[in-house]
Chains A and B, each alone.
Chain A
Amino acid sequence: VTTVRTVAVRRCADCHSAFLPRPGACPRCGSTRVTAGSVGAAGRALAAVELQYPPPGFAPPHRLVLVELAESIRLLAGSPNVLPAPGDSVAVRTDGERYWLDDPARAE
């Protein structure tokens, strides 16, 4: 896992929505005219939960944070160490498949 300052996204050439890389067409409009891009890895926490009964392969308490980046890109990130409060500034890192919270970011 490498720490990155950006997160890969896809942009739809037809409806101009941005979304995380995923198989298939634009989730909003179904267009296949999709281009690769990126947004900054810093954003804010919208909600954060501590799961007492995670699925097999994850140890309790498993922390999950709903993060909003630029262009209203949202993602669900794991958080091994901290449970941020809603509105907290956070940054994410990714291995291309999963996302994690980086060390708590300072508001810029």
Chain B
Amino acid sequence: VTVRVSATGWARFGKRSEPLDELMAEAGSAALEAVGRKSVDHLFVGAMAAGPFAGVESLTARLADRLGLIESTAGFRVEAASASGAAVFHAAVLAVAAGVADRALVIAGERMTGLPTPEVTRILAQSLAPSEARAGATLPALAAILTQRYLARHELPPSALDAVPVQFRAAAAKNPVAQFQKPVSVEEVAASRPVALPLRLLHCAAISDGAVAAIVERSQGEVEVLGIGEGFDALAIADRAELTSFRATRVAAQRAYERAHLTRREVGVVELHDAFAPFALIDLEDLGFAGPGEAAGWFARGWTRPDGRLPVNPSGGILGRGHPVGASGLAAVASVAEQVRGGAGALAVARRPRVGLAQSIGGIASHNFVTILGRPEGA
């Protein structure tokens, strides 16, 4: 069975005044327009914490109503913390591959800027293990601990992180739907205020609103879903066998590569989950591209730039595009789809890829997803 992504649609990321369901409808409507308003029989909706963040629930029925999709046969909301957007895409792919759905509209979004920062931090921390949340842990705290272990293990200085936001913010400046439209310098990153050292403000994702959508259907085409995979790890970082690599990514990647019958060598573009700059390094290693401890060298040498040997986050990634948490996983998939289709505009990488990979991290990497998209060989 061939499942493909036939369209994508966006509601600009950043600080938005519209309510969450309106942002999601904006993205969904853009995707439906892109396929000429063809009928969809399933609606899949992804959000991490629509109620706590945005005070809205019953999102699937709300969107079916708002988008004129009440003739559709089914709809579901899917949640996997900050990987909700990837999880809901996978759910739609499974439904289409199973023959249950013919054409599905997938929409993922979050609206977070309506709350004060400590409240956003508290809601995000609900994705953590209760034992670690009780100790007063937050996502940046645990990310900082993992980063310390990573830097120590590979004998890297904290400055090894700084090239990551510099590259992604430069990319985002070309992306009209990105939250951040201005590049930053290495000096600005190094001088930004400490959040939990070695992590500074510009190493960390922003608080964002936004939504993204995709149409998934059963038919052959330019952007086929070649493989999907997911993986879990212990909820508490204290319970994990490894602290400098994410098991959940490695398992997800292995499954996706196996299902796609290909290896990392065939991948020509990557959108990975960089909620914290060091995650981009760990991800690049977990996905099999860079060896352990080598990813910082890839960034330093420019290998990950849009004209490099493996373009990484040409959309700007989470650090540049913004991080409406429920949307980010689908944003990565949609960005890869646009690169493979040749529809990335100013964001197009130097060599149009035949195959691209999107990776998404749920919580503190307890539930991660990998999606491989591509054109069939010879197409």
Contacts from A to B (Cβ < 8 Å):
19-20, 22, 27, 46-58, 62, 64, 66, 74-78, 86, 97-99
B134, A98: Cβ atoms closer than 8 Å: yes
Let me know if B138 and A54 touch, CB within 8 A: yes
Closest to B200 in A: A52
Asked if B144 is at the interface (CB within 8 A of a chain A CB), the reply is: yes
Distance between B49 CB and nearest chain A CB, rounded to angstroms: 15
Let me know if B152 is at the binding interface, CB within 8 A: yes
A53 smallest CB distance to B (angstroms): 6
Pick from B136, B138, B195 the residue with the most CB of A within 10 Å: B136
Consensus secondary structure, chain A interface: strand
How far is the CB of B43 from the nearest CB of chain A, in Å?
34
The answer to whether A20 and B238 touch (CB under 8 A), given A49-B196, A76-B131, is yes
Q: Is B193 engaged at the interface, CB distance under 8 Å to the other chain?
A: yes
Spell out B's residues near A (CB within 8 Å): 117-119, 121-122, 125, 131-138, 140-141, 144-145, 148-149, 152, 193-197, 234, 236-239, 243
**Contact of B134 (CB < 8 Å), options: A54, A74, A86, A97:** A97
Closest to A55 in B: B122
- Rounded to whole angstroms, the CA-CA distance of A50 and B118 in the bound complex is 16
CB distance from B193 to the nearest CB of A (A): 7
A-chain residues with CB within 8 Å of residue B131 when the two chains form the complex: 20, 22, 75-76
* A-B pairs with beta carbons under 8 Å apart, 24 shown: A20-B238, A27-B234, A27-B239, A46-B145, A46-B243, A51-B138, A51-B195, A52-B193, A52-B195, A53-B138, A54-B136, A54-B141, A55-B121, A55-B136, A55-B138, A56-B118, A57-B136, A62-B136, A66-B243, A74-B238, A76-B137, A76-B238, A77-B135, A97-B134
Bound Cα distance A20, B237 (Å):
13
Question: How distant is the Cα of A27 from the Cα of B145 in the complex, in angstroms?
Answer: 21
Whole-angstrom distance between the alpha carbons of A19 and B241 in the complex? Answer: 12
Shortest Cβ distance from residue A2 to the other chain B in the assembled complex, whole angstroms:
18
Provide the residues of chain B in CB contact with A27, threshold 8 Å.
234, 239
CB-based contact A53/B135 at 8 Å: no
Whether A98 and B145, one on each chain, are in contact in the complex, defined by CB atoms closer than 8 angstroms, is no
B145 with A64: CB separation less than 8 A: yes
Which A residues touch B144, using CB under 8 A?
Answer: 47, 49, 51
Cβ-closest chain B residue relative to A78: B135
Query: Which chain A residue has the least Cβ–Cβ distance from B193?
Result: A52
Q: Which residues of B contact A77 (CB under 8 A)?
A: 135
Q: Which residues of B contact A49 (CB under 8 A)?
A: 141, 144-145, 148, 196-197
Once the chains bind, are A75 and B238 in contact (CB under 8 Å)?
yes
Name the B residues within 8 Å of A54 (CB-CB): 136, 138, 141
